[in-house]
Structure 1
Amino acid sequence: MARLSRLLRPETVALVGGSLVSRLVKSCEEMGFTGEIWPVNPDRKHLAGLECFPDLGSLPSPPDAAFLAVNRERTIEAVATLAGMGAGSAVCYASLFAEQGADGAVYQRRLVEAAGEMPILGPNCYGLVNAVDGVALWPDLLGCEPVSEGVALISQSGNVGMNLSFQDRGLSVSHLVTVGNQAVVGIEDLMEELLEDRRVKGIGLFLEAVRDPARFLVVARRALAARVPVVALMVGRSRRGAEIARSHTASISGMTQAYQALFDQGGVMRVGAIPEMLETLGVLVGVGPLRGNRIVSMSCSGGEASHVADLSQDTCLDFAPLPSGQAARVGRILEGRVKVGNPLDYHTFIWDDRARLERLFREVTSGPQDATMLVLDLPDRDGDFSAFWKTARAMATARSTSGRPALVVSGLPENLSADLARELTAAGVTPVRGIAEALAGLDAAVRWGEAIHSQPPISPAAVSPPGDRLIHLDETQAKARLREWGLAVPRGMVVPVSGVETAAAEIGYPVTIKMVGIDHKTERAGVRVGVRTPADLNLVLAEMS
């Protein structure tokens, strides 16, 4: 497959289709695309104010990228034409490919064959946005804005991708790419290309499955070495979630422990929810990898201090007491009215006193801890919130003096305005929406730091297959070969459903029942162990059927 530069940074784009082409043109214009836009439609003279070309062969030159908003049969035809004319890439919007079962899988194989060496994104995907270069191959509403740098978000779900584009958390998004079925271009390919761009400061992944774990690990380790954080949200952990993922993008999800081992080896930080993914990315980009796990938290509320302490119990974070000398200095600033601890409740009697707040925050942030967080809610509402702004700005001043990692964290996600987030970010303070999210982000920063400074794992050497071809064996064939080579293999029989009861009686209960002819049997509920009676066997067969 060719490099992805023409896909991610095209200078000419062809937009093939009908009504969606107008939306695609608008997305390009909103993102400030400066290249050539060529609508293609045999029945229209103009679309979105631009002259239409009747077919791909009429284009001035092979496009760098084409967005194909046509049905699956015409998508395959267009991909073949584009590949033959030397186009750079294609985005395939159509669905009803491998995610629809055996019939769709046939169409997907035809699509891959038609593409040859040309990269294609999808099928069954929404496209991509490159906000640093003004590119938007995107057929729907879009929340991304032009930026100079930021984090790249890669999603297997188009709708989740669209939702991510509307995030308003002060997190700059450099790229947003949806991959759909990953028929040709996979998540690993995109990560590898994005790591070549220094404007990409982090990578967030919304995953249903990893297509090529070995290559994913290589690319993840490259990101780790470059100190580009990778944060992954893996869906399909439950059986029902895995079933939905299969029907959605033909992904085999599940295998939670295997994926966790893969992420651990690659230094990928795994999260459990979309808000946590975004906030963890913000923390990792903002504070970087931490050398240790010592954290200090400040707030003007004992309730908030207790809440921080409670939520930290499931993390690796250490809220150790302040050193005695520092604790004494903090006590003097607070006139002995406060019991100095960590988390620190500094009370409200210095509220609205900018000078005193700056003294306190400078003293606290200069301690031996690895990061300091201030819990502060500042909603975007009418009213006099000047005292709240003084507190936030006092923390920014303290951070500029100490140069140490600092965060301002809201208790409620809606209580940290976009204006405050932008001002804090500009001052080097990391804004975080949610205490739990902040602690998860700091926990990830500690684990990321450990991964960076640890020895890389020893991976098995790549082994080439003997001969000139790969032979894929099902479980029965593989066990037969192992038995021929003298290895102990449990006794088993392959029989039709009508012969299972007789075979079970011959082997002897308890037995294990497995479906034959499918991969990933566990995720598909195709394995049952410990079946002890004929009655249990009949129930299992009924459920499997």
Structure 2
Amino acid sequence: MSKREAIERLLNPGSIAIVGVSKDFTSISGKPMKNLIRHQFEGDIYPVNPKYEEIEGFTCFPSLLDVPGKIDVALIAVSSKRMMQILSECEQKQVRSVILFGSGFAETGEDGERLQAEVLEKAKKAGITILGPNCIGLLNVRTSIPLGFSTSFETEEGFLSGNVGFASQSGALGFSLFGLAQEENIGFSHVINTGNQMDIHTLDCIDYMLEDDGTDVVAGYLEGIPDGEMLIRLAKRAKALKKPLIMLKAGRSEIGRKAAMSHTASLTGSDETFQAIAKQYGLVVANDVDDMIDLMKVFSRGKQTNGNNVVTISNSGAAGIAMADYSEPLGLELVRLPNETQAKVEEIIPSYGSALNPIDITAQALKEQHILTDTLEVLINEDEVNVIVVQTTFGGELGQNICEKIAEIDKTTEKPIVVTITGTTEITGEGRAILEKASVPVYKTSYKTMFAVKHLADFSRFCLKEEKDPFELPAIEERDDPTGIWTEVRVKKELFSLGIRIPQGTLIKDREHLQKVKANVPYPVVCKGISKDVLHKTDAGSVKVNIKNAVELEDAYESIASSLRAYNPDADIDGILAEEMLQDESVEMFIGVKEDPQFGPLIVCGLGGIFVEVLQDISIRHAPIDAEEASDMLKELKGYPLLEGIRGGSRRDIPALAETLARISQYASTHNGHIQEMDINPLWVFEEGQDVAALDGIIVWKNKKDTVVN
């Protein structure tokens, strides 16, 4: 049974057994049954506990083997120590889907990890699929089937069904968020808590929800990423389906990462890497629960934009200014209206208002409510406007009338209309409820509104980006079992084979070799000590520049050799590299490759030399990338203006730099799984049309890192 089939069965069971059930319906082991009864589950319920003969009129069975009918799903509420016995009963009874509520597994340490591994192994052999452990269940909102003990299941008012699917590694956070979102009139299709992700993990649930016809927005809370390649594949699928994939990722701080390990035994990974993957593949990233709800709200409406041109309408000049202030840092454009459209707006609003964007309709709209709605109708027909933001403080009957009119207008257009209503629930609540019922996104503050609009515009723009045919990687020879640390000399040979310029140079291995080559060295030169044991040459005093002749070369050789021995007496020294000294004006960059345990090879770039450590101005992508993606990567750098040329400086060869980035990324992809890290630093970028040159580099391969190859 595939994971999708298993999730389908968990969400739509015809019969449910509750193992370890309690008559105390306030307890964890009693709530699952109470919730099924409360929400009138129409299938068969089989309580299992040898302590009782019946519970609430249902026959209670001593064990699973005593249940007379077929069991689709077993809810297990017993000690982790009894799991092997319960799984044996599930196997005999041919129960194929299980939810484990209990803790005491991998999150508790080595013993728990061992038990979790044993339980999973036994379940796989028996063909049993497990959700959990350490989880509180799931909810099929469409059919009101709650399988678990979340307090969110205890509502007497029922659940609001809709088009948002949510998978959460945390049960408490997940179902709390669900409850809060329901209060905001956001409807869901399914909510699933995965806990320790022993078998079914969060990405499996996201995969299911993306393919569900009634789910248009998919959200996930992750503490760890169980499969980086799968996350990327799901992001690509979400784009193809135009379904926003909203992610809230925990463990961004060191303390958060440690807490996540103790919570659900998750390896959280680098937040910097996750953010880079999200940006590259179009994931919508939330920072907290409020963000997640705000994003669910704007995306569940189903409207997308053709751009990020925003126009705002407000009855308060201050509110308009606030929205303008938020727009710029969020990357939104408060578009200037065409003269003709501006003239139409001026005819509607008072003379002391403003038809410039942000549009100030003034408090006169309190008396003449048509001012707001007439202005709104004008803007709907303006092609230059992609999103319309309406801000109002109107409450009472006037506010309700305006909200009803906005809702009516919203139905006539595919253009997103997003509303901010600032005021207390007592004064503005009924108007807000009208918009929520009509699925018009409505927020209480200008920042929340503009934050939601920013992500709507970003995702819409990402979906509109044409899918390019996969680019062909150039023929790159994959080395047979590359080993150890490749120092600068060996790395430069590799770079040269990729078509990347390197300085002309000679590795002088000893004094005898020095006498043979000193007359043919391309003076002036730079001399550098080469050793796998001394990777930071400057720290060891093993770099000499501007060597002009053979005499200076001999002096530099002796000086560097002496410095290397003093710095590390045990260093294995390969020789002294004498290399042409490039003197053209340049900008120093670096390119790096890092093998991420979750996502594989990552390509990193930034300003080179010492600046990479000091400024931390870097851009990251998942490899491989093409030159176009590499160009976008460069534009993210704060130091990018240096490449464009500032204060009379020359423009640099940005196309050559982008092409080099792409080639290195493709090299990393070809050697996926073998490179631990790779650095080219510095990489000099010369004037436009003059190429780039790699001045130093290192590759650390994963196997036999104590071996060096030159």
Q: Decide which of 55, 61, 72 is 2:69's aligned counterpart.
A: 61
- RMSD, aligned CA: 2.9
Question: In the alignment, what sits opposite 1:138?
Answer: 148
Q: Decide which of 158, 170, 186 is 1:157's aligned counterpart.
A: 170
Question: In the alignment, what sits opposite 1:364?
Answer: 379
- Deviation of 1:426 (Å): 4.4
Q: Decide which of 328, 339, 352 is 1:337's aligned counterpart.
A: 352
Question: In the alignment, what sits opposite 2:406?
Answer: 395
Question: Which stretch of structure 1 is more off in the superposition, 105-114 or 407-416?
Answer: 407-416
Question: In the alignment, what sits opposite 2:416?
Answer: 405
Any idea what the Cα deviations from partners look like across 1:406-427, whole Å, max 9, x if unmatched? 1122347968977545532443
When residues 97 and 388 of structure 1 are mapped into structure 2, their CA distance, relative to the original with a 3 A threshold, is: same
Is the Cα–Cα contact under 8 Å of residues 11 and 36 in structure 1 kept in the other structure?
A: yes
Is the Cα–Cα contact under 8 Å of residues 148 and 199 in structure 1 kept in the other structure?
A: no
When residues 303 and 198 of structure 1 are mapped into structure 2, their CA distance, relative to the original with a 3 A threshold, is: same
Any idea what the Cα deviations from partners look like across 1:441-488, whole Å, max 9, x if unmatched? 221122212222224585999xxxxxxxxxxxxxxxxxx971399978
When residues 15 and 431 of structure 1 are mapped into structure 2, their CA distance, relative to the original with a 3 A threshold, is: same
Question: In the alignment, what sits opposite 1:467?
Answer: none
1:102 aligns with 2:110: yes
Is the Cα–Cα contact under 8 Å of residues 161 and 188 in structure 2 kept in the other structure?
A: no
CA distance in 2, matches of 1:413, 1:286: 24
Question: Which stretch of structure 1 is more off in the superposition, 104-113 or 356-365?
Answer: 356-365
CA distance in 2, matches of 1:238, 1:406: 36
Any idea what the Cα deviations from partners look like across 1:169-203, whole Å, max 9, x if unmatched? 11112211111111100112111222232111211
CA distance in 2, matches of 1:233, 1:484: 38
- Deviation of 1:59 (Å): 1.5
When residues 35 and 342 of structure 1 are mapped into structure 2, their CA distance, relative to the original with a 3 A threshold, is: same
- Deviation of 1:39 (Å): 1.0
- Deviation of 1:506 (Å): 6.6
When residues 78 and 485 of structure 1 are mapped into structure 2, their CA distance, relative to the original with a 3 A threshold, is: farther
Give the 5 Å matches for 1:247-262: 247-262=262-277
Question: Which stretch of structure 1 is more off in the superposition, 419-428 or 33-42?
Answer: 419-428
Secondary structure of the residue aligned to 1:149 is strand
Structure number, greater radius of gyration: 2
- Deviation of 1:94 (Å): 1.0
CA distance in 1, matches of 2:533, 2:53: 70
Is the Cα–Cα contact under 8 Å of residues 32 and 147 in structure 2 kept in the other structure?
A: yes
Secondary structure of the residue aligned to 2:363 is coil
Question: In the alignment, what sits opposite 1:14?
Answer: 17
- Deviation of 1:295 (Å): 0.9
Is the Cα–Cα contact under 8 Å of residues 75 and 92 in structure 1 kept in the other structure?
A: no
Is the Cα–Cα contact under 8 Å of residues 297 and 305 in structure 1 kept in the other structure?
A: yes
Is the Cα–Cα contact under 8 Å of residues 62 and 88 in structure 1 kept in the other structure?
A: no
Secondary structure of the residue aligned to 2:159 is coil
- Deviation of 1:162 (Å): 2.5
Is the Cα–Cα contact under 8 Å of residues 155 and 206 in structure 1 kept in the other structure?
A: yes
CA distance in 2, matches of 1:188, 1:240: 24
1:92 aligns with 2:105: no
CA distance in 1, matches of 2:229, 2:428: 41
Q: Decide which of 21, 35, 40 is 2:43's aligned counterpart.
A: 35
Give the 5 Å matches for 1:373-452: 373-377=389-393, 385-411=396-422, 420-427=431-438, 429-452=440-463
Question: In the alignment, what sits opposite 2:500?
Answer: none
Question: In the alignment, what sits opposite 2:230?
Answer: 215
- Deviation of 1:48 (Å): 3.8
Gaps of 5+ in 2: 23-27, 474-480, 492-530, 535-566, 572-596, 599-612, 614-710
- Deviation of 1:313 (Å): 2.5
When residues 67 and 325 of structure 1 are mapped into structure 2, their CA distance, relative to the original with a 3 A threshold, is: same
Any idea what the Cα deviations from partners look like across 1:22-80, whole Å, max 9, x if unmatched? 31122223334211111111111123442211101112234211111111112333234
Partner amino acid for 1:13?
I
Question: In the alignment, what sits opposite 2:308?
Answer: 293
When residues 50 and 359 of structure 1 are mapped into structure 2, their CA distance, relative to the original with a 3 A threshold, is: same
1:453 aligns with 2:464: yes
Is the Cα–Cα contact under 8 Å of residues 403 and 432 in structure 2 kept in the other structure?
A: no
Question: In the alignment, what sits opposite 1:238?
Answer: 253
Any idea what the Cα deviations from partners look like across 1:84-135, whole Å, max 9, x if unmatched? 4322311111112111121110011011112113221111111100111221
Q: Decide which of 278, 284, 288 is 1:263's aligned counterpart.
A: 278
Any idea what the Cα deviations from partners look like across 1:330-374, whole Å, max 9, x if unmatched? 111113221222222211112143334322221233323111111
Any idea what the Cα deviations from partners look like across 1:213-233, whole Å, max 9, x if unmatched? 111222222222112211001
Question: Which stretch of structure 1 is more off in the superposition, 351-360 or 12-21?
Answer: 351-360
Question: Which stretch of structure 1 is more off in the superposition, 141-150 or 81-90?
Answer: 141-150
1:181 aligns with 2:173: no
CA distance in 1, matches of 2:457, 2:84: 47
When residues 196 and 80 of structure 1 are mapped into structure 2, their CA distance, relative to the original with a 3 A threshold, is: farther
Q: Decide which of 137, 140, 154 is 1:127's aligned counterpart.
A: 137
CA distance in 1, matches of 2:429, 2:78: 39
When residues 287 and 9 of structure 1 are mapped into structure 2, their CA distance, relative to the original with a 3 A threshold, is: closer
Partner amino acid for 1:10?
P
When residues 438 and 344 of structure 1 are mapped into structure 2, their CA distance, relative to the original with a 3 A threshold, is: same
When residues 377 and 25 of structure 1 are mapped into structure 2, their CA distance, relative to the original with a 3 A threshold, is: farther
Q: Decide which of 259, 284, 293 is 2:299's aligned counterpart.
A: 284
1:483 aligns with 2:490: no
Any idea what the Cα deviations from partners look like across 1:271-293, whole Å, max 9, x if unmatched? 11111111112112215332200
CA distance in 1, matches of 2:471, 2:46: 47
Secondary structure of the residue aligned to 2:328 is helix
Secondary structure of the residue aligned to 2:346 is helix
Question: In the alignment, what sits opposite 1:470?
Answer: none
The structure with more strand, counted as a fraction of residues: 2
CA distance in 2, matches of 1:124, 1:245: 13
1:5 aligns with 2:26: no
Is the Cα–Cα contact under 8 Å of residues 181 and 249 in structure 1 kept in the other structure?
A: yes
Any idea what the Cα deviations from partners look like across 1:250-287, whole Å, max 9, x if unmatched? 11114112212332343211111111111112112215
Partner amino acid for 1:277?
M
Question: Which stretch of structure 1 is more off in the superposition, 246-255 or 110-119?
Answer: 110-119
Is the Cα–Cα contact under 8 Å of residues 206 and 219 in structure 2 kept in the other structure?
A: no
Which one has more relative contact order, counting CA pairs under 8 Å at least 6 apart? 1
1:323 aligns with 2:331: no
Any idea what the Cα deviations from partners look like across 1:359-392, whole Å, max 9, x if unmatched? 22212333231111112357xxxxx711111222
When residues 341 and 237 of structure 1 are mapped into structure 2, their CA distance, relative to the original with a 3 A threshold, is: same
